[in-house]
């Protein structure tokens, strides 16, 4: 299973290194020690924590959008894989964003997707909304 250093975990969660260290020190986020003797977080544990953190984060928009454009690549952790027949559903937690992808079972197996695996969701759409926040 993949492990992530504190800096990588912080980047994936969208917080600072110090915040991840505080969560680890308080026991909120379990850590291990990697081969080099540095603190690390198990990928599956990080995926569960990312889901819990996102669920606790308010989803309401606090500012009115008047400008900006979202990127089309979301790096995050696989949090859930549901395989049914020839198709599969893969959920990725990318910071506060949950991205769901439908793909073939073969693709899931080939990519070895499982909770805790680092993945990038690339989004291509014929409908892209661009918003500008109110200054």
DSSP single-letter state for residue 45: H
Does the structure show a pLDDT above 70 at 135? no
Would you call 42 exposed, middle or buried from its count of C-beta atoms within 10 A (0-12, 13-18, 19+)? middle
Q: Residue 55: its pLDDT value, please?
A: 79
How do the domains of the chain map onto residue ranges?
3-56, 73-122
Q: How far is CA 55 from the centre of its chain?
A: 12
Report the C-alpha gap between 22 and 68 in whole angstroms: 33
Domain 73-122 in CATH 3.30.530.20? The answer is: no
SS3 47: helix
pLDDT for residue 21: 95
pLDDT digits (tens, 9 = 90+) for 71-101: 577 889 999 999 999 999 999 999 888 989 9
CB 85 within 8 A of CB 93: no
Around Cβ 53, how many Cβ atoms within 10 Å? Answer: 18
Topology, domain 3-56: Multidrug-efflux Transporter Regulator; Chain: A; Domain 2 (1.10.1660)
Over residues 8-44, the pLDDT tens digits come to 999 999 899 999 999 999 999 999 998 899 999 999 9
Categorize the per-residue pLDDT at 131 as very low, low, confident or very high, splitting at 50, 70 and 90.
low
Domains 3-56 and 73-122 share a fold: no
């Amino acid at each position: 299973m993949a492990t992530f250093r504190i800096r990588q975990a912080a980047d994936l969660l969208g917080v600072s290194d110090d915040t991840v260290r505080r969560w680890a020190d308080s026991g909120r986020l379990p850590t291990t020690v990697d081969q080099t003797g540095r603190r690390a977080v198990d990928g599956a544990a990080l995926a569960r924590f990312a889901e819990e953190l996102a669920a606790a984060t308010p989803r309401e928009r606090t500012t009115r959008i008047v400008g900006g454009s979202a990127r089309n690549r979301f790096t995050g952790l696989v949090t859930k894989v549901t395989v049914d027949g020839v198709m599969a559903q893969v959920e990725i937690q990318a910071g506060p964003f949950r991205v769901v992808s439908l793909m073939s079972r073969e693709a899931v197996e080939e990519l070895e997707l499982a909770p805790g695996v680092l993945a990038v969701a690339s989004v291509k759409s014929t409908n892209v909304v661009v918003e500008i926040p109110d200054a």
